């Protein structure tokens, strides 16, 4: 046991007789203990407990005003369940009833008056060893908990980075900056928030959205990088990026990747049922897909692509309003307009 800690242990002695306190203090000082705090007034127990933060309490049972049993009840209220604070009862009462009641109320050990000096030191050393080992175990548990938290944070960070890398991979072939996926993710997050979705769901949509076009990695460059309009045959092949993306992401147990798969499959569906790949309509289209459909559309319009010039915000908004109830969920359009209005007046 750490002798330095042992000698630094804080004692709280409660006894209504000054003589008993003086005797205990002499015994303890000779044994190498120095942090000794005592009182003959048990009514000050709570104040002294908080001030001293004792490592052991030496308690007489029979005292006026507040007896040892009442003091034990108060200590039980003060001591947290996860803490181990030894209480050594010092009493001339050797009856079985007194011993059982004290043990029931939380006493850890007994010494009978008159005190034997050697026994006092041995009992106290044993109780303090247990206290010390308990504190060591607490420290180790806290250290392990912190390591788990740190490791969990590292895993979460790795997951975020992997998601970003996957998103950049899907966009690198037709957007070398990889910014499109992040912009769409941010806009989808804003729309989800404006719709009043729970914070956790909003964050999940933000993290999952950048993977909406991951299926593009399965589309030939001759189609993906074509500067002009697609032929009908080329467009049919381009449509496959939705099912390819869903196929890549299927079978996962991670909610963010499950949602990413849903978005990849549904973000080209249209409110009126003329979208692809499944021709879903209205609320049959997953909400995240409806949100990303608009966010993706807006970003594509307002940024230059190999086949088009960038539209102004006003032009894009006019087109989106025209597509309310046709391409886009009216409620999603309303949330989007609130966002633009708020940004214009901030």
Q: Give, as one character, the DSSP assignment of residue 62.
A: -
Q: What is the pLDDT of residue 239?
A: 95
Region 274-302: mean pLDDT is: 96
Strands 10-14 and 109-112: unpaired
Nearest CA-CA partner of 98 in 72, 128, 124:
72
Is there a contact between 252 and 258 (Cβ–Cβ < 8 Å)? Answer: yes
Residue 280: pLDDT band by 50, 70, 90 thresholds?
very high
Domains and CATH numbers, the chain: 3-144 (3.40.50.2300), 172-344 (1.10.3210.10)
Q: What is the pLDDT of residue 329?
A: 97
Measured in degrees and rounded to the nearest 5, phi and psi for residue 278 equal: -110, 0
Q: What is the pLDDT of residue 189?
A: 97
Q: What is the pLDDT of residue 306?
A: 63
Q: Give, as one character, the DSSP assignment of residue 319.
A: H
Q: What mean pLDDT, rounded, does the chain reach?
A: 87
Residue 332: pLDDT band by 50, 70, 90 thresholds?
very high
Q: Decide if pLDDT at 2 tops 70.
A: no
Percent of the chain with pLDDT over 70: 93
Q: pLDDT (tens digit, 9 = 90+) per residue, 46-95? A: 999 999 999 999 998 888 878 888 888 988 888 877 788 999 998 887 78
Q: pLDDT (tens digit, 9 = 90+) per residue, 193-247? A: 999 999 999 999 999 999 999 998 888 888 887 877 888 999 999 999 999 999 9
Q: Decide if pLDDT at 164 tops 90.
A: no
Q: What is the pLDDT of residue 197?
A: 97
Cα(220)–Cα(257) distance, integer angstroms: 24
Cα(174)–Cα(169) distance, integer angstroms: 10
**Residues forming a β-bridge with 88:** 58, 109
Q: The whole model's pTM is what?
A: 0.59
Residue 174: pLDDT band by 50, 70, 90 thresholds?
low
- Answer with the residue of higher pLDDT: 330 or 100: 330
**Residues forming a β-bridge with 286:** none
Measured in degrees and rounded to the nearest 5, phi and psi for residue 143 equal: -65, -45
Percent of the chain with pLDDT over 90: 49
Dihedral sign, Cα of residue 240, residue 244, residue 246, residue 251: positive
Q: What is the pLDDT of residue 177?
A: 46
Q: pLDDT (tens digit, 9 = 90+) per residue, 90-149? A: 888 778 888 888 888 888 888 888 888 899 999 999 999 888 888 888 888 888 888 887
Burial class (CB in 10 A: 0-12, 13-18, 19+), 5: middle
Q: What is the pLDDT of residue 330?
A: 97
114 cis-preceded (ω within 30 degrees of 0): yes
Give the CA dihedral 291, 296, 299, 302, nearest 10 degrees: -100
Cα(297)–Cα(117) distance, integer angstroms: 86
Nearest CA-CA partner of 266 in 209, 189, 190:
209
Q: What is the pLDDT of residue 170?
A: 65
Q: Decide if pLDDT at 309 tops 70.
A: yes
Sequence-distant (≥ 6) Cβ neighbours of residue 95 within 8 angstroms: none
């Amino acid at each position: 046991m750490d002798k330095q800690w042992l000698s630094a242990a804080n004692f709280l002695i409660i006894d209504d007789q000054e003589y008993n306190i003086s005797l205990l203090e002499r015994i303890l000082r000779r044994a190498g203990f120095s942090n000794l705090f005592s009182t003959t007034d048990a009514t000050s127990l709570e104040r002294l407990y908080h001030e001293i933060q004792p490592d052991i309490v030496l308690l007489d049972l029979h005292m006026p005003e507040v007896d040892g049993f009442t003091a034990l009840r108060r200590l039980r209220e003060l001591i947290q369940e996860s803490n181990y604070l030894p209480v050594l009862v010092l009493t001339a009462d050797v009856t079985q009833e007194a011993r059982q009641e004290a043990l029931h109320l939380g006493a850890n050990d007994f010494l009978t008056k008159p005190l034997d000096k050697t026994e006092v030191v041995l009992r106290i050393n044993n109780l303090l060893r247990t206290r010390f080992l308990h504190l060591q175990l607490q420290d180790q548990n806290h250290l392990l908990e912190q390591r788990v938290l740190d490791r969990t944070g590292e895993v979460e960070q790795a997951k975020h980075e992997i998601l970003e890398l996957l998103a950049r991979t899907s966009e690198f072939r037709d957007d070398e900056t990889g910014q499109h996926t992040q912009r769409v993710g941010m806009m989808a997050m804003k729309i989800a928030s404006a719709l009043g979705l729970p914070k956790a769901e909003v964050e999940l949509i933000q993290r999952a959205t950048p993977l909406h076009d991951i299926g593009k990695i399965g589309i030939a460059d001759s189609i993906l990088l074509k500067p002009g309009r697609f032929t009908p045959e080329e467009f049919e092949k381009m449509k496959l990026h939705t099912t390819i993306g869903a196929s890549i992401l299927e079978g996962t147990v991670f909610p963010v990747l499950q949602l990413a798969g849903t978005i990849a499959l549904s973000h080209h569906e249209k409110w009126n049922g003329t979208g692809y790949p499944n021709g879903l309509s209205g609320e049959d289209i997953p909400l995240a897909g409806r949100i990303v459909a608009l966010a993706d559309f807006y970003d594509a319009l307002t940024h230059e692509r190999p086949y088009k010039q960038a539209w102004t915000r006003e032009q894009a908004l006019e087109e989106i309003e025209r597509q309310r109830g046709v391409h886009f969920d009216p409620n999603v359009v309303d949330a989007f307009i609130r966002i633009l209005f708020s940004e214009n007046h901030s």
